[in-house]
Structure 1
Amino acid sequence: MELWIPITIFAAFCQNLRSALQKHLQGKLGTRAASFVRFGYGFPVAILYVMSLHFFVGYAFPALNVEFAVWSVIGGLAQIFATMLLVYLFSLRNFAVGTAYSKTEPVQAAIFGFILLGEKLTPGSIVAIIVGVFGVMLISMARMPVSWRNLVVALTGRTALIGIASGAVFGISAVAYRSAALALGGPGPVMQAAVTLACVTTFQTAFMLIWMLWKDKREIVQVIVTWRSSALVGLAGVLGSAGWFTAMTLQQVAYVRALGQIELVFTFMASYFLFHERVNRMEFAGCLLIVCGILGLLFS
Structure 2
Amino acid sequence: MPAEEKKHNDIPCYHCGEDCGSHPIVFDDRYFCCHGCKTVYNILSVNKLYTYYELEPTPGARKDNLVKDRYRILENPDIASRFTNFNEGGIARVSFFLPNIHCSSCIWLLENLQKLNAAILISKVNFQQKTVAITYKTNQLAMPLLADLLDSIGYPPNLSQTAEKQKNQWSKRLLMRTGIAGFCFGNIMLLSFPAYFSLTNEGYEHWFAYINMALTVPVFFYSALEFFSPAFKSLANKVINIDLPVSIGIVALFVRSVTDVLAYGGPGYFDSLAGLVFFLLIGRWYQQVSYKALSFQKMHVSFCPWE
Which structure is higher in helix share?
Answer: 1
TM-score bucket of the superposed structures, by smaller chain: under 0.3
Which structure is higher in strand share?
Answer: 2
Rg larger for: 2
